[in-house]
Amino acid sequence: MRIAFVYDAVYPWVKGGAEKRIYEVGKRLAKDGNDVHVFGVKWWNGTETIMNEGMVLHGVCMPMELYVNGRRSISEAIIFSIKLFPHLIRERFDVIDVSAFPYFSCFTVKLVSMFRRTPMAITWHEVWDDYWYEYLGWQGIFGKLVEHLISKLPCMSIAVSPLTKRNLILLGRDGENIHVSPNGIDLKTISSITPFHEDCDILFVGRLIREKNVDVLLEALSLVSETIPHVKCHIIGDGPERERLVGLASQHGLMGNVRFFGFMGYEDVIARMKSSKILVLPSTREGFGMVVFEAFACGVPVITVKARRNAAWEHVSEKTGFVVNLDARELGNAICKVITDNALRESMSRSAIDAAQEFDWNNTTRQLTFLYEEIIRARE
């Protein structure tokens, strides 16, 4: 098959769940003999088109800021969707898989699909619906409208979690044409990585944006430090919230307890994860929560929060960690329990490793191969 993926952010230049999914699935599809192309922003130096892990990467426009004032840039999304058309229309593919967010590129792909008579699929990582009002205030009505329009496009929908599928159905999408294909982890690579030489009690990994609620983690850490003065917390990631969070850590007197790292390479993240006692993900918005399963594969219990738009909490049980409300005291109590109770932590560690086994990128790739073949046959 000749397959195109469309998303403005491209791994490893930009690190996030959607771009990591394309990278992991794409390189496996290419290894299986498929001709895989990725259309995104040109984050790399050099020529417009390069090869990476057997995939052809197309840089459709020069880099722009993805976030403005802590929010995804609307102008970046519009410019990318406009610049995408001449690059995508000149090629012929058997199927085009476009990530739903940031939406406008879905309209471009639909136009190309109509002109080229190419089947398209939209991969949904999240569904925001009324969350748009929280994100943009009254202007959220426009985001909600665009999301609803995208959900009505006639094509196959791929949801990365059961939660996302349920939310798509609430938008009015036909459930029979929504296929759940979860994100995954590289179990083989994770098992081969040696733990980092420095131990850590609490680890956070993710983009530093408001919805991740790292400020609540810092408040919880302040409470934990009252009973465990030398508790250590490592925060891996970067984003528009970093400066504010460093300031909060200083205000709480935590600069001796917490260390901020920027984005790291995958193997470095896993090595530090393996040397941590617990992963804390206080995010209220996760389409899947890939980092949860990476932690499970490392034998690290997870604490996350119960929230309507956090798909990760559905995968965390009392055997593998804790699910709490978004409250600093609840979060702090759960952290204290796990890092001080060695027997509990070891039991959770064994259960976490077992839970990780079904979420492998090879399984996801096989499932997507079947789905792509299905929509190609339906077009013939």
Give the number of other CB atoms < 10 A from CB of residue 71: 13
Q: Which tokens is 129 given? A: 């619906």
* pTM (predicted TM-score): 0.83
Alpha helices for the chain (secondary structure H): 17-31, 74-89, 104-116, 131-136, 140-151, 162-170, 187-192, 214-227, 242-251, 266-274, 290-297, 328-340, 342-356, 361-379
The contacts of residue 145 (CB under 8 Å, 6+ apart) are none
Domain 2-184+360-379 in this protein, CATH class: alpha beta
pLDDT reported for residue 182: 92
What gap in Å lies between CA 339 and CA 335, rounded to an integer?
A: 6
With 0-12 CB in 10 A as exposed, 13-18 as middle and 19+ as buried, what is 52? middle
pLDDT single digits (tens) 22-36:
999 999 999 999 999
With 0-12 CB in 10 A as exposed, 13-18 as middle and 19+ as buried, what is 8? buried
pLDDT reported for residue 380: 66
C-alpha closest to that of 275 among 349, 344, 223: 349
Every domain of the chain with CATH number 3.40.50.2000 lies at 2-184+360-379, 187-356
pLDDT under 70: residue ranges of the chain: 380
Instruction: Note if the bond before 282 is cis, omega within 30 degrees.
Output: no
What is the chain's Cα-based Rg?
A: 21
The contacts of residue 361 (CB under 8 Å, 6+ apart) are 24, 25, 28, 184, 185, 186
pLDDT reported for residue 66: 87
Exposed e or buried b per residue across 300-338, where buried means at least 16 C-beta atoms within 10 angstroms of its C-beta: bbbbbbebebbbbbebbeeebbbbbebebebbbbbbbeb
pLDDT reported for residue 89: 96
pLDDT reported for residue 276: 97
Q: What is the CATH number of domain 187-356?
A: 3.40.50.2000
